[in-house]
Amino acid sequence: MKFIYCALIFLFTLTDSGNAVENKPVTAESIILRYIDATGGLDAIKSLKTVDMDVQMENHDYQYHQSLHVDGRFRVEKNDRIQGFDGKEYWEFFHGLAGKMPVDHVNEVKDLTFQNILFSNIFDKDWNPRDMKYLGMKEQFDVQHYLLGSNPTEQMEIVYYFNVITGFLDKAVFTSKNSEGDELTTIFRYSHYQEIDNLKLLTHAEGTCITTGELVQPAVNYKHIKLNQIKAQNVFEKPESTITSTQIEGTTISAKVIFIDKNGNLVTNITREVLQKLGLTTGGRLKLKINGQEFVHVFYDSLSDTLEINEGDLLATFNGTPALWFISAYMGMTSILSIDQNDAVIVDVIKN
């Protein structure tokens, strides 16, 4: 365990009468050891192999389930999809269709680890505390904190706020730079520590980028937490698709509608791999034939590829899923044709 020591002040404890009594010098190591002890001890932390929990969005009527393995594998079950990482591949299961997880979703879940979710990256993957420097003590709203600084990368600095009384981590301030070189400061707050199987773990978290005002982590509560109870190893494996595959003949795809969203747009069983095999790229066109009608849609790998979308524009995109969507912008495809789930569709690929 490597630390940079700065014994600038002394740690005090309170007697029953409330008088401060000198205990021992404050160092980064002593603060981390106190945090480890408050959490339940390093042996108990290292005994963690799996965590199962419900995640409740505090300000929304929404809850999902997530399962984490110490080796980095995970499974997240949401209302409309299941996401996971099996140790090799990030995958997604969407309305019966299993496929590779879209890149933007991978970026959202790649930090879904024990070390990040439950311990805010205080430990590395081998449960060794990261190198830290003691920065002093700070009092705010009548609460005192010991501050420790860490630089996990050249582009990121983290300041951890450890509660002087409880020893728990209350807050972490991340300072980093975006792709344009602008400095961003994000504050994560942690609270509601609860004892679960000899460990005291945070059960509430939220994060806000104070530079942009963006809510990067909506307030969540971790509920029904179960430790080391996942036994089946296939929990994290990508499931098999439960719907029939598309058929390809030349540049024609025979597919079907697997879902109609609330806006009336069509989701098909056409995967990204199918379009890649046929050489379609952003800007190419797809002729959709369905129930005796034909529509020509412009393909965008993601909707961020286009800046101007007008009402009624016909678009085809994966929309952050493994499945290809056919969209009539701001109207819905069901506003211009009669269609039901499981209806057959024929799609002709018209390259750029």
Residues 199 and 78 in one domain: yes
Residue pLDDT, tens place only, 82-92 = 999 999 999 99
Does 337 reside within a domain?
yes
The confidence score (pLDDT) of residue 337 equals 86
pLDDT at position 75: 96
pLDDT above 90 (res 177): no
Q: Check residue 78 and give its pLDDT.
A: 92
Confidence of residue 305 (pLDDT cuts 50, 70, 90): low
In the prediction, which pLDDT does 307 show? Answer: 59
Return the pLDDT at 182. 84
26 in any annotated domain: no
Burial annotation 270-307 (CB, 10 A radius, 16+ → b, else e) = bbbebbeebebeeebbbebebeeeebebbbbbebeeee
Q: Give yes or no for residue 17 having a pLDDT over 60.
A: no
Domains of the chain: total: 2
298 and 203 assigned to the same domain: no
- Residue pLDDT, tens place only, 323-344: 999 999 999 999 888 889 999 9
Task: Judge whether 195 and 37 are in contact, CB under 8 Å.
Answer: no
Report if residue 12 sits inside a domain.
Answer: no
**Same domain for 311 and 204:** no
Are 226 and 67 spatial neighbours (Cβ–Cβ below 8 Å)? Answer: no
With a cut of 90, say whether residue 143 has pLDDT above it.
Answer: yes
Three-state DSSP string of 5-73: CCCCCEEEEECCCCCEEEEEECCHHHHHHHHHHHHCCHHHHHCCCEEEEEEEECCCCEEEEEEEECCCC
Residues 69 and 139 in one domain: yes
11 within some domain: no
Do 73 and 208 share a structural domain? yes
What CATH number does residue 195 fall under? 2.50.20
Query: Residue 198, Cβ neighbours under 10 Å: how many?
Result: 12
Name the band, by pLDDT with cuts 50, 70 and 90, for residue 310.
Answer: confident
Nearest alpha carbon to residue 348 among 300, 290, 307, 302: 290
Domain presence at residue 51: yes
The reply to whether 118 and 144 lie within a common domain is: yes
pLDDT mean over 114-137: 90
When the pLDDT of each residue in the chain is averaged and rounded to a whole number, the result is 88
CATH code where residue 317 lies: 2.40.30.90
SS3 at position 304: helix
In a domain, 2, yes or no: no
Last residue of a domain, one of 183, 203, 236: 236
The answer on pLDDT for 146 being more than 50 is yes
Of 186, 210, 236, the last residue of a domain is 236
Q: Is the pLDDT of residue 3 over 70?
A: no
Residue 18 lies inside a defined structural domain of this protein: no
Query: What number of other Cβ atoms are within 10 A of residue 44's Cβ?
Result: 15
| pLDDT of res. 111 | 86
Q: What is the mean pLDDT of residues 284-299?
A: 93
Whether 208 and 305 share a structural domain: no
One domain, residues 167 and 83: yes
Whether 84 maps to a domain, the answer reads yes
pLDDT of residue 10: 37
- 100 plus 68 within the same structural domain: yes
Whole-angstrom distance, CA of residue 122 vs CA of residue 240: 37
Identify the pLDDT of residue 308: 79
Last residue of a domain, one of 209, 236, 263: 236
175 and 67 in a common domain: yes
The radius of gyration computed from the CA coordinates of the chain, to the nearest angstrom, equals: 25
Average pLDDT rounded to a whole number, residues 159-163: 97
Q: Tell me, yes or no, whether 224 and 276 share the same domain.
A: no
The answer, yes or no, to whether residue 11 has pLDDT greater than 70, is: no
Do the beta carbons of residue 86 and residue 67 sit within 8 Å?
no
Q: Are residues 182 and 256 in the same domain?
A: no
The domain of 194 spans: 43-236
